[in-house]
Structure 1
Amino acid sequence: MVKSLGINQLDIGNEIAPGVPWVIAPTCAGPISLALKSGNFGGKDFFIDAWSKI
């Protein structure tokens, strides 16, 4: 997904859950924030928690 978006740099941000930080990707249109999560990290409310920390 990241490669498809043309992103080649990620700046590490605040931790959402243990092992899962927000990342900020600088783009020509401005920075975007991403939560790159594999299936085994975070609890069942991971995305609700992430949204509250953005």
Structure 2
Amino acid sequence: MTYSWRKSSRSADQTNCVELANTGAVRDSKNPTGPTITVDLSTLLAAIKSGRFDLA
């Protein structure tokens, strides 16, 4: 399967970030041919928007 990968615009040209596909697949940009995990995209986005993953 071919994915269309995206990363945060705040990451610019850095390679140490998480990338997200429109299907809910997630991968580490340092290892683009490595493993991916698949999550329910709407659940993940809701958690991000709610601040669940904020570090501060």
The structure with higher relative contact order (CA 8 Å, sep 6+) is 1
Q: Verify same fold: TM over 0.5.
A: no
Give the TM-score taking structure 2 as reference length.
0.30
More helix by share: 2
TM-score by length of 1: 0.31
